[in-house]
Structure 1
Amino acid sequence: MTKESKTFHECCLYFTVNSFARKINEMAEEEFKITGLTSSHAYLMLTLLDEPGLSQNELSQKMNLKASTMTRFIDKLMQKQLVERMQKGRSVFIYPTAKGKELRVLIEGAMKKMYERYYEVLDEDFSKNLTADINKANMLLKD
């Protein structure tokens, strides 16, 4: 490849998306520190705050995570007394505790600061369009 041609660093979707994800994740982890949670745990909490009583399988599907990963996440949040498992028959459902509910404002504030950080760098419209495009690609790959 000549200097003018693009390298795989620039034209490989796999490499580019992972590189971008690492940079965004770094921002997220910095902003979510104030909550005492990782960004992944914070997004799980928001999901449960918006839709309490989801099963672990439903949570795995919504967050596009393997069941084993979801189990670890829920266990971690249970250790912090932020969620609880409730069994109904053969099914187990996950609910936020009162302590977990108190985190909503802090989590939403961290998320807002993260958005502001990447809006500043990428521009708000570009960020929103990129998010929509990546979401669309995720949906296409899901099928």
Structure 2
Amino acid sequence: MTHHFYETCAYFTAARYMRTVEGLATQTFQPTGMKPAYSYIMLALEDRHPQTVTDLATTLGYDRSSIYRMVQRLEQRGLVHLYPVGKSATVDLLPDSAAFLETANQCLSAWGQLTDAKLGPDKAAMTRLLTTNNAKLRS
């Protein structure tokens, strides 16, 4: 019996793809000194700040507890301030975040160029399909 999950299983193919993407993204975002997820938190805060941990988790698709742990690490590095507001925690950028954000934006641009070059015209359609299918699975 031969299994066909190598090409037909959504779990297996998505996980294999993500391992490849994670490796390339980690290399690309290496100048920040942190994993890519930290840059995306900072970039989301650059777009709109302050934000609650819940808002960041919703925007980025992470569990609240994961965002909270990552934000604590960013706070330890002096990049953000985490403070309670009622029953939630709010995150805001600190002045020392400017240099990190400059590097993160450069890495994001390099990531876009790398994926454009490797994926070509399939990138936009694939990204739309992943976004759509993610929404279907989450509902």
Match of 1:129?
A: 125
Match of 2:117?
A: 120
Distance 1:37 1:15 in 2: 27
Kept in 1, the 8 Å contact 2:72–2:82? The answer is: no
Tell me the secondary structure at the aligned position of residue 93 of structure 1: strand
Q: Residue type of the partner of 2:63?
A: K
Q: Residue type of the partner of 1:65?
A: Y
Cα offset, 1:90, TM superposition: 4.5
Cα offset, 1:87, TM superposition: 3.4
Q: Residue type of the partner of 1:126?
A: D
**TM-score, with normalisation over the residues of structure 2?**
0.91
Match of 1:78?
A: 75
How much is the aligned-residue C-alpha RMSD, in angstroms? 1.6
Kept in 1, the 8 Å contact 2:28–2:111? The answer is: yes
Greater gyration radius: 1
Q: Residue type of the partner of 1:96?
A: L
User: Following TM superposition, where does structure 1 have runs of at least 4 consecutive aligned residues deviating by more than 4 angstroms?
Assistant: none
Superposition pairs for residues 8-87 of structure 1, below 5 Å? 8-87=5-84
The answer for unaligned runs of 5 or more in structure 2 is: none
- Which of 108, 122, 138 is 2:134 aligned to? 138
Distance 1:65 1:90 in 2: 19
Distance 2:31 2:69 in 1: 21
Cα offset, 1:86, TM superposition: 3.2
Kept in 2, the 8 Å contact 1:48–1:96? The answer is: yes
The answer for unaligned runs of 5 or more in structure 1 is: none
1:100 paired to 2:97: yes
Kept in 1, the 8 Å contact 2:26–2:35? The answer is: yes
Deviates more, 1:43-52 or 1:95-104: 95-104
Distance 1:91 1:114 in 2: 33
Distance 1:89 1:18 in 2: 38
Kindly tell me the number of residue pairs found equivalent between the two proteins: 139
